[in-house]
Chains A and B, each alone.
Chain A
Amino acid sequence: MQVRRLTALAILPVVIAGGAAACSGDSDSGDSGNGSAAVLSVGIGEPKHIVPANTGETEGGQVVYAIFAGLLDYDKDGKPYNVIADSITTDDSKIWTIKLKDGFTFHNGEKVTSESFIDAWNWGAYGPNASDVNSYYAQIDGYADLNPEDATQTPASKQLSGLSKVDDLTFKITLSEAFSDFNTELGYTAFFPMPKAAFDSEGNITKEYEEAPIGNGPFKIKGTWNHDTNIETERFEGWKGTKPKIAGLNFRIYQDLKAQYSDTLANNLDINRQVDTSNLINAKNDFGDRYQMSRNSSFQFLAFPVYDETYAKAEVRKAISMAIDRDQMVKTVFADTQESARSFISPILPGYRDDTCGEACQYDPAAAKTLYQSVGGPATIQITYNADGGHKEWIEATCNQLQANLGITCQAQPETKFADMLTKVKDKTPGVGMFRLGWIMDYPSMYDYLQPLYHTNGSSNYYGYSNPEFDRLIAEGAAAKTSDEAIKLWQQAEDVLASDLPVIPLRYGQNPFVTSENVKKADINLFTWVDPYTVEAA
């Protein structure tokens, strides 16, 4: 349950949402046509919650994703497509009209209606419910009434004024400010529906529901959640969407990724969604073709304290960037489980372009040294990193490259915990120097990278970067009428970053996973979840 948007770890749990690849569904143990009778097991960590409006970490998200279904889902390129939604439309990016397809029901037979969504979101947005995904609803009009600044006050309302039911299958969402890519958020589990049966008379989620949620997805819970042991599901025959190809998923709970790996090797577990770092070198040998990579939204970079005189000149930052040999690092330190990054957003996003960083991210030690000396770069630099995430090796390798290529002294400085490092950076403690950060997305939109990381008021802009031109482009993109228009503006904003270089892109993550001999096909999506629709038994 330890996943954060700003990633503390070098390698993150992630997955691939495989597109609907054509699968010949003739597994030998199956009743033909309607998917096989096989049940596959998937390794997860103990979730915190498994109800949509309260689940903000990947382990619980995996379970929610199998037993619930949302308005839309994402294909493997991060593009949204409708699932429960029939259409999602807007004229001004402020008022969104959602029409639902008829015929979807929850596992208890209750129809999926506008209210299923509205009730769930209202619950999540209501401050005193302290939902883990509370902040996801912040863009919807009326959020402030449910989360008063003065915490001693009882919120004025329990309902988001921005959500209004038109009829059973239509509802409107009004945002407090226009946001052209709002629809891309709606595929996240926080926006999944919940049935009336989830709530007691006072509108709280019941204890029973927490332990055995009734969903609307392709699988339904069998029994209840066996804490620390497993969560069993079986195929829901009333599901109207893409039919799964297996009879059930058994989510087995582990604390240690290494144990998942061993179990998968012994065919005792079917899918280990993420191979732990120490087994990466053996995985190819142990599993052969059953060791695979999935794409992942993580983006690793080095940030400069731009408020610090030492790094104030963009040329200094550029020279440092040019002195780092990304490709060699990926090969030697990461055994090709990550990719070199030369843009400021993840390649899984619509709107991504190769090499936006340009010359600054091309390895050229000679030019770097000349530039560095001509602008009078500092003779000693520091790179701070968190020691709790397995970063020591590559930070030191980076430092060595900088020493050799720029002829300077570089010190790698560990901080015990990620939070400690952030505190130091927030306080602008002198001597921190450059520092490492990573980012994984909440939803596949350029906005989710550019705004929080580089906007003047960005929630994770720890380096004090501020450029009015950049901020303007971000805001204009958000207010654009269509997603395409927005992407154009945001791409211009990305170009501003390339010349200012507040951070230097280093690597994109990939997610290594292994499967047992019982698995014919498994896709891991952008959120590191096993795709329940395409997974197939051998």
Chain B
Amino acid sequence: MFRYIVRRLLQMALAFFGTTLLVYAMMFAAQGDPIQALAGEKPVSASQRAVLTERYHLDKTGIDGFLYRYWDYVSNLMRGDFGTTLAGRSISDVLQAAWPFTIKLALMAISFVIVFGITAGVIAGIRRGSLFDTTTLLLTLVVIGIPVFVLGYIGQYLLTNKWRLFKPTANDGSLYSLLLPALVLGMLALATALRLTRTSVAENLRSDYVRTAKSKGLPQRRVIGVHVLRNSLIPVVTYLGITIGDLMSGAIVTERIFNVPGIGFNVAKGIQTEDGPLVVGIISLLVIVYLTSNLIVDVLYAVLDPRIRYE
């Protein structure tokens, strides 16, 4: 196990450099003249240009310049210096202010998924073919089929403007105002987790060890609660792990619709304003979040299922 973790950590370092290089290259390629873009269409004086060029490390161009700047960026990153946004704000400050919103939102969303998704999935799995099963099947199909921005705007319109149940936006960060965005954000994961649990439960119910358990007279509660559930949850846990990474990385669309000033909100802003340093800074951090959550899931796998061994 230890050797496995070390190997994974080394792979993570590679993946980290690879992804940041890619993202950096893409932002680099997309940029026209960032200094002129900053100034709108107004004239930029030579000395003003010189200062900005230096401030944002734009002083070298071409492939050499790119590698030089990437290296410059990464070495600063290693020292914990994320740099500043094109608006002159420290990116560490931006991240510090944004994380609490995103974490709150992600935790709320994942709670929805666990509480409603898994429960409904288990019920649907046990009562295959029942009305409940068919209804959830249909509903989840609909949810999976609708893009999140449609869900978001419809939810916002119906639940806040029509029926006034929730607040339309959430930039005060209160739990109540985050309720609706969390629901929208968790909806897709909820539907997927539900389907996954249902299939898994249904499959395990037919397996030999369940028949054995039943035939030796174990109560239904114990058969489902211990034997079926434990085995059925393995794929679901994997899925949830990845989803947490997803949710932590901020929901660009949801945070934008509900004006939640979290990570996704800032990524969207960075992309919109062509703020390379902000986008690359956030994405570097997200890469780490993703890699770590994936590692944790893989390790958990072995804990849940004794048949899996990492050597």
Q: Is the CB of B87 within 8 A of A255?
A: no
Q: How large is the interface on B (under 10, 10 to 19, 20 to 34, 35 or more residues)?
A: 35 or more
Contacts A56-B39, A130-B52: A259 and B268 contacting too (C-beta < 8 A)?
Answer: no
Contact status A268-B169, CB under 8 Å: yes
CA distance A481 to B156 in the complex (A): 58
Q: A46-B269, A130-B55 are in contact. Are A253 and B47 (CB under 8 A)?
A: no
Binds B, one of A3-11, A14-22, A237-245: A3-11
Q: Does B43 contact A (CB under 8 A)?
A: yes
With contacts A5-B42, A6-B41, A56-B42 known, is A254 near B259, CB below 8 A?
yes
A389 to B: closest C-beta gap in Å: 13
List chain B residues, Cβ under 8 A from A253: 171, 261
Query: In the complex, what distance in Å separates the CA atom of A148 from the CA atom of B46?
Result: 7
- Bound-state CA distance A153–B44 (Å) is 16
Cα A6 to Cα B40 in complex, Å, equals 8
- Known A46-B269, A258-B153: A135·B97 in contact at CB below 8 Å: no
Central interface residue in B88, B157, B168, by most chain A CB within 10 Å: B168
The chain A residue with its CB closest to the CB of B87 is A48
Alpha-carbon distance between A130 and B55 when the two chains are bound, in angstroms: 10
Residues of A within 8 A of B171 (CB): 228-230, 252-254
**Given the known A-B contacts A256-B256, A263-B169, A266-B167, are A138 and B43 also in contact in the complex, defined by CB atoms under 8 Å?**
yes
Chain B CB within 8 A of A201 CB:
no
Interface status of B218 (Cβ within 8 A of chain A): no
Say yes or no for B214: interface residue by CB 8 A criterion.
no
Point out the residues of chain A lying under 8 angstroms from B200, CB to CB. Answer: none
Would you give the 0/1 interface string for A434-478, flagging 1 where the beta carbon is closer than 8 Å to chain B? 000000000000000000000000011000000000000000000
Give the distance in Å from the alpha carbon of A236 to the alpha carbon of B157 in the complex.
38
State the Cβ distance, A327 to closest chain B Cβ, in Å. 30
**Chain B residues positioned under 8 Å from A150 (CB to CB):** 46
B256 and A266 contacting across the interface, CB-CB below 8 Å: no
B46 neighbours in A (Cβ, 8 Å): 127, 147-151
A127 touches B265 (CB 8 A): no
Q: Kindly state the separation between the CA atoms of A258 and B288 in the bound complex, as whole angstroms.
A: 33
Q: Decide: B168 and A268 in contact? CB cutoff 8 A.
A: yes
* Residues of chain A with a CB closer than 8 A to B98's CB: 228
Indicate if the CB atoms of B43 and A135 lie closer than 8 Å.
Answer: yes
Interface size class, chain A: 35 or more
A254 to B257, CA, bound (A): 10
The minimal Cβ–Cβ distance linking B114 to chain A, given in whole angstroms, is: 28
CB distance from B38 to the nearest CB of A (A): 7
Shortest distance from the beta carbon of A499 to any chain B beta carbon, whole Å: 28
Interface membership of A152, Cβ < 8 A: yes
Q: Report the minimum CB–CB distance from B244 to chain A (whole Å).
A: 23
Tell whether B160 is near chain A: CB-to-CB under 8 Å.
yes
Q: Evaluate whether A227 and B89 lie within 8 angstroms (CB atoms) in the complex, with A2-B273, A56-B42, A150-B46 already known.
A: yes
In this assembly, does B45 line the interface, its C-beta being within 8 Å of a C-beta of chain A?
A: yes
**Cα distance A96–B89 when bound, in Å?**
37
> Per-position contact with B for A407-451: 1 when CB-CB < 8 Å, else 0?
000000000010110010000000000000000000000000000
CB of B25 within 8 Å of the partner chain: no
Residue in A56, A147, A263 whose CB lies within 8 Å of B45:
A147
- Measured between beta carbons, the chain B residues less than 8 angstroms from A138 are 43, 45
Contact check, A56 vs B47: say whether CB atoms are below 8 A apart.
no
- In the complex, B146 has a CB within 8 A of chain A: no
Q: How far is the CB of A162 from chain B (nearest CB, A)?
A: 16
**A266 near B164 (CB under 8 angstroms)?**
yes
In angstroms, Cα B169 to Cα A252, docked, is 11
Most buried by B among A57, A130, A149, A151: A130
- Which residue of chain A has its CB nearest to the CB of B172? A229
| Known interface pairs A150-B46, A262-B156; A1-B259 also in contact (CB < 8 Å) | no
**Which residues of chain A (252-310) have a CB below 8 Å from chain B?**
252-256, 258-259, 262-263, 265-266, 268-269
Asked whether A155 is an interface residue with its Cβ less than 8 Å from the other chain, the reply is yes
Q: Which residues of B contact A269 (CB under 8 A)?
A: 169
Q: Are B43 and A259 in contact (CB under 8 A)?
A: no
Cα–Cα distance between A57 and B269 once the two chains are bound (Å): 16
In the bound complex, residues from chain A placing their C-beta under 8 Å from that of B94 are: 227
> B54-95: which residues lie under 8 A (CB-CB) from chain A?
55, 87-89, 93-94
Q: Report the bound CA distance from A265 to B47 in whole Å.
A: 47
Chain A proximity of B123: nearest CB distance (Å): 35
Given A2-B272, A5-B40, A128-B51, verify A135-B259 contact (CB < 8 Å): no
Q: Decide yes or no whether A342 CB sits under 8 A from chain B.
A: no
B11 CB contacts on chain A under 8 angstroms:
none
For A132, the closest partner residue in chain B by CB is B39
Residue in B40, B256, B266, B272 whose beta carbon sits within 8 Å of that of A4 in the complex: B40
What residue of chain A has the Cβ atom nearest to residue B98's Cβ?
A228
Q: How far is the CB of B181 from chain A (nearest CB, A)?
A: 11
Task: Report whether B157 and A262 are in contact in the complex, using a CB–CB cutoff of 8 Å.
Answer: yes
In the bound assembly, the distance between CA atoms of A46 and B169 in angstroms comes to 16
Tell yes or no: A184 within 8 A of B by CB: no
Please pick, from A153, A266, A417, A423, the residue contacting B160 in the complex, using a CB distance under 8 A: A266
Contacting pair A228 B42 (CB below 8 A): no
Are the CB atoms of B48 and A3 closer together than 8 Å?
A: no
Q: Is the CB of A254 within 8 A of B169?
A: yes
Q: Which residue of A lies closest to B42 (CB)?
A: A135
Q: Is the CB of B32 within 8 A of A419?
A: yes
B290 at the interface (CB under 8 A from A): no
Interface centre among A3, A151, A419 (most CB of B within 10 A): A151
A46 to B89, CA, bound (A): 12
- In Å, the complex CA distance between A56 and B39 comes to 8
Determine whether A49 belongs to the interface, using a CB cutoff of 8 Å to chain B: yes
Residue from the list B48, B97, B161 in contact with A228, Cβ < 8 A: B97
Asked whether A170 is an interface residue with its Cβ less than 8 Å from the other chain, the reply is no
Query: Hey, which chain B residues are within 8 Å of A132, CB to CB?
Result: 38-39
Within the assembled complex, what's the spacing in Å between the Cα atoms of A136 and B41? Answer: 13
Q: How far is the CA of A1 from the CA of B51 in the complex (A)?
A: 21
- A5, A48, A151, A420: the one contacting B50 at CB < 8 Å is A151
Interface string of B156-199 (1 = CB under 8 A from A): 11001100100111011000000000000000000000000000
Q: Give 1 or 0 for each of A131-170: 1 = CB within 8 Å of chain B CB.
A: 1101100100000001111111101000000000000000
CB-CB < 8 A to A256: which residues of B?
A: 256-257, 259
B167 partner, pick from A57, A228, A268, beta carbons under 8 A: A268
Minimum C-beta distance from B225 to chain A (A): 44
Identify B161's interface contact among A48, A134, A152, A265, CB under 8 A.
A265
Q: Which residues of B contact A48 (CB under 8 A)?
A: 87-88
Complex Cα distance, B265 from A153, in Å, reads 40
Given A255-B268, A258-B257, output 14 extra A-B contacts at Cβ < 8 Å.
Answer: A131-B48, A134-B44, A138-B43, A147-B47, A153-B47, A155-B47, A227-B89, A227-B94, A252-B171, A255-B269, A259-B169, A259-B257, A419-B33, A459-B43
| Complex A-B: 22 CB contacts under 8 Å | A1-B273, A2-B272, A48-B88, A56-B42, A128-B47, A130-B52, A131-B48, A134-B45, A134-B48, A135-B39, A135-B44, A138-B43, A147-B47, A151-B47, A228-B265, A228-B266, A230-B171, A258-B153, A265-B168, A268-B167, A268-B168, A459-B41
| Closest 6 pairs (CB-CB, A-B) | A127-B47, A151-B50, A228-B261, A147-B45, A4-B40, A262-B168
User: Residues of A with Cβ closer than 8 Å to B?
Assistant: 1-6, 46, 48-49, 56-57, 127-132, 134-135, 138, 146-153, 155, 227-230, 252-256, 258-259, 262-263, 265-266, 268-269, 417, 419-420, 423, 459-460
